[in-house]
Amino acid sequence: MERKIRILIAKPGLDGHDRGAKVIARGFRDAGFEVIYTGLHQTPEQIVAAAIQEDVDAIGLSILSGAHDYIFPQVIQLLREKGADDIVVFGGGIIPEEDIPALQKAGVKAIFTPGTPIDEAIKWVRENIKHRK
């Protein structure tokens, strides 16, 4: 039997708004993915360590505090340093449109802004996340 896609849903920084992260974690689980949720207040270092230890295929970062411009690139940088940059990083939260190009350039594969239906995120994962080699 083929292994399920494994996704780490992570809440970086001091931001406590976890409603979206939990709804998406539940939605992904119901869609048949394996979901690990970090809980709140994780540093980029902790998130990358968890992703490697749990051998996930992707990391979904949720952030609503405005710290995305620091935290997203930091996670990607750390993955690269650990030789784990084949783990796909995507994210969601309160992220102004004009910030998205810079995040994509830094290596974030998709950003889901407020109002995205759960199924749209699921569809994107099915089409874009493959098992790591």
Q: Judged by CB, which is closer to other proteins: 21, or 79? A: 21
Q: Judged by CB, which is closer to other proteins: 41, or 131? A: 41
User: Alpha-carbon torsion 67, 73, 75, 77, what sign?
Assistant: negative
Compute CA distances 76 → 1, 79, 85, whole Å. 31, 5, 7
d(CA 39, CA 36) in angstroms, rounded, equals 9
* Interface residue with other proteins, options 117, 126, 131, 132 (CB under 8 A): 117
* Interacting span for other proteins (CB under 8 A) from 33-41, 47-55, 84-92, 124-132: 33-41
* Interface with other proteins in residues 12-31 (CB under 8 A): 13-19, 21-23, 25-27
Phi, psi angle pair for 47, to nearest 5°:
-65, -45
- Residue 4 within binding range of other proteins, rule CB under 8 A: no
CA atoms within a 13 Å half-sphere pointing along the CA-CB vector of 61: 39
Which residues here bind other proteins, judged by CB under 8 A?
Answer: 11, 13-19, 21-23, 25-27, 37-41, 43, 65-67, 69-71, 94, 96-98, 113-115, 117-119
